[in-house]
């Protein structure tokens, strides 16, 4: 993916009781380094380790981070990166696959459309039409307690959110995804993805 093509900033704003949150990106590693993380951004790892992970992803040639920012604090983010070559989705050698690695909004800022704006900011770029974007969703990463939702209601909420950007559930033979019925593979096929890549991906997900 051409970073120059993606690096023209598009910003959206969400009104919250704590102030107006700016949603924008992709951001460079130095920008992330100079910001703090909301302490409730801990669904995947501790906030400090998550910040380090965001910096690492933003440093990748094809790694992209979009953030929701209030003052000097990151209150939400979404990441994209190529799949690891030793994992299922990277082992097929399909260069057009881009993985939506994580999307998270801090607990005090949920319910104001920030997750939707993070997706909108990322997918408003025409270049995304050249990619198969996939997200592997595992229920053990979901903040069920923080949202106060049963697992299937959370899954339905997640499906609606992802569908707003064109990511839809797809069947797969992946054993980790199939280890729980609430887990899901979400996929968006860009309009310009080559037919050969789509065919290879369809074989890979059902391998």
The conformation of residue 129, written as its DSSP 8-state character, comes to G
Q: What is the mean pLDDT of the chain?
A: 93
Least confident of 2-11, 46-55, 65-74, 192-201: 2-11
Q: What is the pLDDT of residue 147?
A: 87
- pLDDT exceeds 50 at position 7: no
Express as a percent the part of the chain with pLDDT over 70: 96
Name the class of domain 3-205. alpha beta
Q: Is the pLDDT of residue 74 over 80?
A: yes
Q: How far apart are CA 175 and CA 169, in angstroms?
A: 16
State yes or no: pLDDT of 82 exceeds 90: yes
CA distance 87 to 91: 6
Q: Report residue 4's pLDDT band, with 50, 70 and 90 as the boundaries.
A: very low
3 state SS of 36: strand
Please state, in angstroms and rounded to a whole number, the distance separating the CA atoms of residues 71 and 65. 18
Which stretch of DSSP H or E encloses residue 118?
helix 114-123
Is the Cα dihedral 83, 98, 164, 27 positive or negative?
positive
The band of 3, judged by pLDDT with boundaries at 50, 70 and 90, is very low
């Amino acid at each position: 993916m051409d970073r120059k093509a993606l690096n023209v900033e598009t910003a959206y704003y969400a009104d919250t009781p704590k102030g107006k949150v700016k949603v924008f990106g992709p951001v460079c590693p130095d920008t992330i380094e100079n910001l703090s993380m909301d302490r409730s951004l801990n669904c995947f790892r501790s906030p400090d380790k998550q910040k380090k992970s965001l910096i690492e992803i933003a440093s990748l040639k094809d790694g992209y981070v979009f953030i929701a920012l209030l003052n000097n604090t990151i209150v939400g983010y979404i990441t994209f990166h190529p799949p690891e070559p030793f994992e299922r989705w990277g082992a097929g050698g399909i260069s057009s696959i881009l993985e939506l690695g994580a999307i998270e909004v801090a607990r005090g800022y949920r319910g104001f459309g920030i997750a939707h704006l993070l997706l909108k900011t990322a997918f408003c770029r025409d270049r995304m039409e050249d990619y198969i974007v996939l997200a592997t969703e595992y229920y053990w990463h979901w903040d069920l307690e923080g949202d106060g939702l049963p697992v299937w209601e959370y899954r339905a909420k997640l499906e609606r959110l992802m569908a707003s950007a064109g990511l839809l559930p797809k069947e797969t033979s992946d054993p980790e995804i199939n280890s729980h019925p609430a887990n899901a593979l979400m996929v968006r096929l860009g309009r310009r993805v080559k037919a050969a890549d789509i065919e290879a991906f369809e074989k890979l997900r059902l391998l």
